[in-house]
A = this chain, B = another copy of it.
Amino acid sequence: MNRIAEKLLRIISDYADGFKGAFNIREDGQCVGRQSTPNIRIDTKEDAPGLVIHVSPNAQKEVVYIPACVTHGAVDDLVYNDFYVGAGADVTIIAGCGVHTDSGDMARHSGIHRFFLEKGAHVLYKEKHIGTGSGTGEKRIDPVTNAFLLEDSVLEMDTVQLQGVDSTVRKTTARLAARAKLIIHESILTEKNETAETDFTVSMDGEDSAVDLISRSVAKGSSRQAYHSCIMGNCRCNGHSECDAILADHGTVNASPELYAGSIDAVLIHEAAIGKIAGEQIIKLRTLGLTEEQAEEKIIEGFLRA
């Protein structure tokens, strides 16, 4: 593993000179380290680049790391990872991604993830994205996530775009069976001329399924963000979505949250708020000794974590 990869791993996936438990490290399209455990088997995908990960029902409070890095320009890495999570398993997946280029060539990673949660499975999926390097080449991360949640399963997705990603298009779809629950916290920070597009389609097909989708975005510089979600309630179910954005400089945001109630027993709620940081908040923190810039940073940090 090269130095840049190591640096990126520390940021995106809690790497500290190695991982405990199951892991696979992807560097510039190659596997540079892998370990399976009795309950988590990581295999090479046969029909396409990527992994097939089987989590046995015996896995309880286990962690699997699958970070991916692109460490130089002229790499366009496309990977397909499938997760089969057994009935009643409880697993945390750490799946960060960093792209780095010091040249004029593009560094890109596209991860196509599919999650198959068996009955009662519980998955916490954590993902941090970052772009680094002094090159003018575009840094892109374009993730696609398709999740299939069987009865009583729970998928929590906690996704963060830290900074430096020139362009991202994120597409997430999910289908929920009875009593399944999907909880998504997404936060995206864009600066300069960066663009971010995110799109969620969630179909609640089983009685008493539920989705809670919270998106926070901060658009600084001349960056542009677009948010679209479609929450479909096709039965007795509960959907809630919330997309809030803070603007700074010349940042712009388009938020387009869609609710479809195809059953009178669907309860769907949405809230959205877009605006800049309130002046009073800045003043308050400045009286505590912070500069205006520091105050802004603090507020944005808190907002993205909320």
Q: Tell me the A residues contacting B by CB distance below 8 Å.
A: 233, 245, 247-276
- When the two chains form the complex, which single residue of B260, B262, B267, B275 contacts A266, counting CB atoms closer than 8 Å? B275
Residues in B whose Cβ lies below 8 Å from that of A257: 256-257, 270, 272
Q: Specify the chain B residue showing the minimal Cβ separation from A269.
A: B273
Q: Is A261 touching B266 in the complex (CB atoms < 8 A)?
A: no
Residues in B whose Cβ lies below 8 Å from that of A249: 264
Q: Specify the chain B residue showing the minimal Cβ separation from A259.
A: B255
| Known A267-B275, A275-B267; contact A254-B247, beta-carbon cutoff 8 A | no
Residues in B whose Cβ lies below 8 Å from that of A266: 247, 274-275
Sample 9 A-B pairs with CB under 8 A, ordered by A number: A245-B261, A253-B259, A253-B261, A254-B259, A255-B270, A267-B274, A268-B273, A268-B274, A270-B270
Residues in B whose Cβ lies below 8 Å from that of A263: 247, 252
Count identical subunits in the complex.
2
| Known A267-B274, A270-B270, A273-B268; contact A252-B259, beta-carbon cutoff 8 A | no
Residues in B whose Cβ lies below 8 Å from that of A248: 264
Q: Is A247 touching B264 in the complex (CB atoms < 8 A)?
A: yes
Q: How far, in angstroms, from A263 to B255 measured CA to CA in the complex? A: 14
Q: How far, in angstroms, from A290 to B306 measured CA to CA in the complex? A: 46
Residues in B whose Cβ lies below 8 Å from that of A258: 254-256
| Known A250-B264, A257-B257; contact A272-B269, beta-carbon cutoff 8 A | yes
Chain B's nearest CB lies how many Å from the CB of A204?
Answer: 13
Identify the 4 closest CB pairs spanning chains A and B, nearest first. A247-B264, A256-B258, A267-B275, A270-B272
Chain B's nearest CB lies how many Å from the CB of A273?
Answer: 5
Q: How far, in angstroms, from A78 to B257 measured CA to CA in the complex? A: 34
Chain B's nearest CB lies how many Å from the CB of A200?
Answer: 13
Q: How far, in angstroms, from A273 to B266 measured CA to CA in the complex? A: 10
Question: Assuming A252-B262, A254-B258, A254-B259, what are 18 further A-B pairs, CB within 8 angstroms?
Answer: A247-B261, A247-B266, A249-B264, A253-B259, A255-B260, A256-B257, A256-B259, A257-B270, A259-B272, A259-B274, A261-B274, A261-B275, A267-B275, A269-B272, A270-B271, A270-B272, A270-B273, A271-B271
- When the two chains form the complex, which single residue of B252, B268, B275 contacts A275, counting CB atoms closer than 8 Å? B268
Q: Is B254 touching A276 in the complex (CB atoms < 8 A)?
A: no
Q: How far, in angstroms, from A272 to B233 measured CA to CA in the complex? A: 14
Q: How far, in angstroms, from A264 to B247 measured CA to CA in the complex? A: 5
Residues in B whose Cβ lies below 8 Å from that of A256: 256-259
Residues in B whose Cβ lies below 8 Å from that of A261: 245, 247, 252-254, 274-275
Residue among A245, A253, A274, A275 with the highest chain B CB neighbour number at 10 A:
A274
Q: How far, in angstroms, from A60 to B258 measured CA to CA in the complex? A: 42
Residues in B whose Cβ lies below 8 Å from that of A251: 264
Q: How far, in angstroms, from A249 to B265 measured CA to CA in the complex? A: 10
Q: How far, in angstroms, from A248 to B264 measured CA to CA in the complex? A: 6
Q: How far, in angstroms, from A178 to B267 measured CA to CA in the complex? A: 38
